[in-house]
Amino acid sequence: MRWRCRRGTTELDRLLNRFLDAPALGYDALDAEGRDAFDRLLTIEDDRLIDWLVNGQRPSEDSLVDITNRIRHASGLPAQA
């Protein structure tokens, strides 16, 4: 899983790895639906992930909103508007 989280930018690498390592609300705390959403998220292009995870824009796909908020939370960032 960690290898799949390697992206083209340091910012995304840090956000995704912090999520993997977060004890309470990280990857290990996800249910099957959450893990499916995370798998889908990893198929998204980096520029969209930066918009969602770094810039705080809300994904247009509702099923990705919770996982992007969890990833942001693991790095101490606020939820998307």
pLDDT at position 35 is: 96
pLDDT at position 81 is: 66
The pTM is what?
0.92
**What does the angle CA 68 – CA 24 – CA 32 come to, to the nearest 5 degrees?**
60
Token pair belonging to 9: 């930018």
pLDDT at position 24 is: 84
pLDDT at position 23 is: 85
Per-residue confidence in pLDDT tens, the chain, 81 aa: 777 888 889 999 999 999 999 988 899 999 999 999 999 999 999 999 999 999 999 999 998 999 999 999 999 999 886
